[in-house]
Amino acid sequence: MWKIDTNNVITMTRGDTPTFTLNLTNPDGTEYEPMSGDEIIFVIKKDPQLLEYLAQIEIPTDTMELVFSEQTTRPLDFGKYFYEISLNNSARDFHDTFITATPIFITEELYNG
């Protein structure tokens, strides 16, 4: 089970493997077109103020799909975490965190075989 609400809060069962498609827009409302060297990174942290992250997923710019593997959330305890998604391009010295410190809830699963 997984869902994203209207505030981008994610709730998912530990170990599930959902895929979410990102829709990025520019400040003027037009669709964002990835540039050469762009990296889109999703990270999960226990506390948004900590530097360390518990999981990281690179989102391919050709598909714009955030794909969870089973191992992304399997090691996490049940409960509330935080995630952010950022767009980075080292060649352009560009970094923009477009979803920041948003809750992600990891819920119980009964079968973990």
Q: Is the dihedral of CA 51, 7, 81, 15 positive or negative?
A: negative
pTM for the complete prediction? 0.90
pLDDT in tens, 17-63: 999 999 888 889 899 889 899 999 999 999 999 999 999 999 999 99
Domain 2-107, what fold?
Immunoglobulin-like (2.60.40)
| Separation between Cα atoms, residue 107 and residue 93, nearest integer Å | 38
**Residue 7 clears pLDDT 80, i.e. is over it:** yes
The one-character DSSP state at 102 is E
**Residue 112 clears pLDDT 80, i.e. is over it:** no
Q: Is the dihedral of CA 47, 52, 58, 61 positive or negative?
A: positive
Mean pLDDT to the nearest integer, 65-73: 96
Residues 6 or more apart whose CB falls under 8 angstroms from that of 51 comprise none
